[in-house]
């Protein structure tokens, strides 16, 4: 087999396909071979080898016969997080409770990609039900960071990040409830985007916290992120929370639009939990942008330390309700020795969920229980509103908010496993976008002295993805 360059953008794949330098089949063989060579990273839960080969052959035949009929994602090889449904394929949220369960239908996002001729190569590992920041909470075992296999890839879309980082596919679908696309992207040196809440249909996405969840994507390039968003976004009658707004041609609007007004949250960059090298590099980026004529202002944000507690009250509350359907009766795993209904519930759920998922179901049930509801759930809703309003006020004056993605680089495996609160605090910079429902992009910024990549994040107003992606493309081409 000929050795293949590492593609980092679909457009280059398509140039080579058109020139006859490669075929879809060769591309798929390359990625399958990479998957085998990187097995110890544990990114894949299931590889659709035969199917991907067949689809590649069909596309190669189509190219020979009717080249004009090929879709816009011709040559794109993609993987999907194990919480996104693909009809006829397993989906388990990395949990025993969904053992052996097969999707009856595909997520709308997946349907739309398939209609543009994407090749789906496999289903990738994640934290169970999207709950986690390190991808160590999976029934399939932890995922390892390809830059240093002793370190975590981030989570919960850790398999998606490593699949792209390790060149086993061009791009991957993840989900972002509180940072699960952006933080692994930063830990693995990739671009990751969470769109505005309601931009991409959640139909066919296993729900974690429904008022926060969004499908997002991990890629090497802003261009591929823009194209994927353009194809997946838009109204869907199967998800009433999708916006009716028309979808701009994001991928054709990436040209730089001149000086931007950018706010940075001083308390975020001055925060004691932030690694000094990441803080210094973020400040040097701010200085460089200012020098080039962009307006950069420090703004106040008094809620930073309230974000995490409020987020974990609200998301666990929603999760306790969403996960009630996994009862040992309807889907997947049922305990073989349970004698009656109650025991079936108890034993199936006790064995079917990980400790972290059970912790969250318990916490969520507690904050919703009568007597505590107002003290926790109502209070957290009020904090969410304050965060939304302050964020909207900043974005009424500025085009973007600039922030680190994570307070540290990827940590060593096991380092935070015994301390759930330490793990939760690592989400301090990513959760704001989900609390406010706004779009955010993580870009690779630099490499730390410890050898690990870290990122920078841009947030924009609701539905300002076109502006956000154009600026992200400029930033990536010019500064990072």
Q: Residues 403-432: x/- map of binding to ligand GLN (CB under 6 A)?
A: ------------------------x-----
Query: Does 2 participate in catalysis according to the annotation?
Result: no
132 binds ligand GLN (CB under 6 A): yes
Between 178 and 407, name the residue whose CB sits nearer to ligand GLN.
178
Query: Does 81 participate in catalysis according to the annotation?
Result: yes
178 binds ligand GLN (CB under 6 A): yes
Question: Among 18-26, 127-135, 261-269, 393-401, which window interacts with ligand GLN (CB under 6 A)?
Answer: 127-135
d(CA 219, CA 191): 5
DSSP per residue, 247-288: PP-GGG--S--S--EEEEEHHHHT-TTS-HHHHHHHHHHHHH
Instruction: Take residue 281 and report the two structure tokens written for it.
Output: 């590099």
Long-range contacts of 244-251 (CB under 8 A, 24+ apart): 245/463, 248/465, 248/466, 250/226, 250/465, 250/466, 250/469, 251/223, 251/226, 251/227
192 binds ligand GLN (CB under 6 A): no
With residue 455 as reference, give the H or E element that holds it: strand 453-460
Coil vs helix vs strand at 362: helix
Query: Does 180 participate in catalysis according to the annotation?
Result: yes
Between 227 and 313, name the residue whose CB sits nearer to ligand GLN.
313
130 binds ligand GLN (CB under 6 A): yes
177 binds ligand GLN (CB under 6 A): yes
Count of residues touching ligand GLN (by CB under 6 A): 14
Distances (CA, A) of 162 to 87, 247, 279: 24, 29, 25
Q: Residues with Cβ < 8 Å from 408, sequence gap 6 or more?
A: 275, 278, 426
180 binds ligand GLN (CB under 6 A): yes
Instruction: Take residue 204 and report the two structure tokens written for it.
Output: 């066919």
- What does DSSP assign to residue 246? P
Between 121 and 205, name the residue whose CB sits nearer to ligand GLN.
205
Q: Please report how close the Cβ of residue 294 comes to ligand GLN at its closest, in angstroms.
A: 29
Residues 304-343 that bind ligand GLN (CB under 6 A): 315
State which of residues 28, 78, 131, 222 lies at the interface with ligand GLN (CB under 6 A): 131
Where in 397-439 does DSSP place strands (E)?
Answer: 400-404
Q: Please report how close the Cβ of residue 258 comes to ligand GLN at its closest, in angstroms.
A: 33
Residues annotated catalytic, as ranges: 81, 156, 180
Residues that bind ligand GLN (CB under 6 A): 130-133, 156, 175-180, 208, 315, 427
């Amino acid at each position: 087999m000929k050795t293949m360059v590492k593609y980092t953008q679909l457009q280059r794949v398509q140039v080579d396909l058109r020139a006859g330098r490669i075929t879809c089949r060769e591309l798929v063989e390359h990625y399958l071979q990479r998957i085998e060579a990187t097995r110890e990273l544990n990114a894949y839960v299931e590889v659709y080898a035969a199917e991907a080969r067949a689809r590649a052959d069909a596309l190669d035949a189509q190219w020979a016969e009717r080249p004009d009929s090929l879709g816009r994602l011709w040559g794109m090889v993609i993987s999907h997080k194990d919480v996104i449904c693909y009809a006829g394929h397993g989906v388990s949220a990395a949990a025993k409770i969904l053992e052996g369960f097969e999707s009856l239908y595909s997520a709308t996002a997946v349907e739309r990609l398939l209609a543009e001729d994407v090749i789906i190569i496999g289903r990738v590992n994640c934290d169970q039900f999207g709950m986690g920041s390190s991808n160590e909470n999976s029934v399939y075992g932890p995922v390892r960071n390809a830059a240093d296999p002793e370190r975590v890839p981030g989570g919960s879309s850790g398999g998606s990040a490593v699949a792209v980082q390790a060149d086993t596919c061009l791009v991957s679908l993840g989900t972002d409830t509180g940072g699960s696309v952006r933080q692994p992207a930063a830990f693995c040196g990739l671009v990751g985007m969470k769109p505005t809440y309601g931009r991409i249909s959640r139909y066919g996405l296993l729900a974690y916290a429904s008022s926060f969840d969004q499908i997002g994507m991990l890629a090497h390039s802003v261009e591929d992120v823009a194209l994927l968003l353009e194809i997946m976004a838009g109204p869907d009658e199967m998800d009433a929370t999708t916006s009716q707004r028309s979808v701009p041609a994001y991928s054709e609007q990436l040209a730089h639009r001149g000086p931007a007004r950018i706010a940075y949250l001083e308390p975020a960059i001055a925060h004691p939990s932030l690694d000094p090298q990441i803080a210094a590099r973020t400040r040097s980026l701010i200085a460089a942008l200012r020098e080039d004529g962009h307006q950069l202002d420090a703004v106040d944000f008094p809620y930073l330390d309230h974000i995490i507690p409020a987020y974990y009250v609200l998301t666990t509350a929603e999760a306790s309700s969403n996960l009630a359907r996994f009862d040992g009766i309807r889907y997947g795993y049922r305990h073989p020795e349970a004698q009656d209904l109650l025991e079936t519930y108890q034993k199936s759920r006790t064995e079917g969920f990980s400790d972290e998922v059970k912790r969250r179901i318990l916490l969520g049930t507690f904050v919703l229980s009568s007597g505590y509801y107002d003290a926790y759930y109502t209070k957290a809703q009020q904090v969410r509103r304050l965060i939304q309003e302050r964020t909207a006020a900043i974005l009424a004056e500025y085009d973007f908010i600039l922030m680190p993605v994570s307070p540290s680089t990827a940590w060593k495996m096991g380092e935070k496993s015994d301390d759930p609160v330490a793990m939760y605090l690592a989400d301090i910079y990513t959760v704001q976008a989900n609390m406010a429902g706004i779009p955010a992009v993580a870009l690779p910024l630099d490499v730390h002295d410890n050898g690990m990549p870290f990122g920078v994040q841009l947030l924009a107003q609701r539905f300002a993805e076109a502006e956000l992606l154009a600026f992200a493309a400029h930033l990536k081409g010019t500064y990072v």
